[in-house]
Amino acid sequence: MTNPIHSSSTPRDSGLNPPVPNPAMADQHMTDSLETDTGTSSKAHTRIDQGADRVKQATSDAVARTKQAVNSTADKVEAGVYRATERTADVAHRANDKAAELADRSRELRDETMDKAEAWMAQAREYVREKPMQSIAIAAGAGWLLGRILRR
């Protein structure tokens, strides 16, 4: 098979001169080669662009789904924190109210106890004033009994 670039009518020297191409045939071969390369290259570029577009779209879709999932999760966390904060505040308010109520009640009990103690002391003073001898006898008996108990 002959080379289409070289004309069969091109004279040849015995190795001294390289073959001279036929310009008309060379131009045709170059044009055919460029059209083939351009067509193949164009198809490859189109496929590459389409693939890149699919990857871009898939990435955009994945990012959008991820954003949506993150936002949804963030909303759920925010709602949970809000509910927990509300419950905690409610419990804290109730505990504070209960503590204030108990503090008031303990003050009342202390005041009542102090009043009773003062009333008993007043009665004891009055009894000692009215009956001093019996008071001394009772005090001596209580002292003797307490001494016996503590010796053991």
> What angle is formed at CA 41 by the lines to CA 1 and CA 21, rounded to 5 degrees?
35
Q: Do 51 and 34 touch, CB atoms closer than 8 A? A: no
- What is the model's pLDDT at position 6? 47
Quote the mean pLDDT of the chain.
83
Taking the C-alpha atoms of residue 86 and residue 90, their distance in angstroms, rounded to an integer, is: 6
- What is the model's pLDDT at position 18? 53
| pTM of this structure | 0.41
In sequence order, what are the residues at sequence separation of 6 or more whose Cβ sits closer than 8 angstroms to the Cβ of residue 9?
22
The 10s digit of each residue's pLDDT in 43-79 is 889 999 999 999 999 999 999 999 999 999 999 999 9
The 10s digit of each residue's pLDDT in 108-140 is 999 999 999 999 999 999 999 999 999 999 999
- What is the model's pLDDT at position 41? 82
User: Taking the domains of the chain in order of start, what are their residue ranges?
Assistant: 61-124
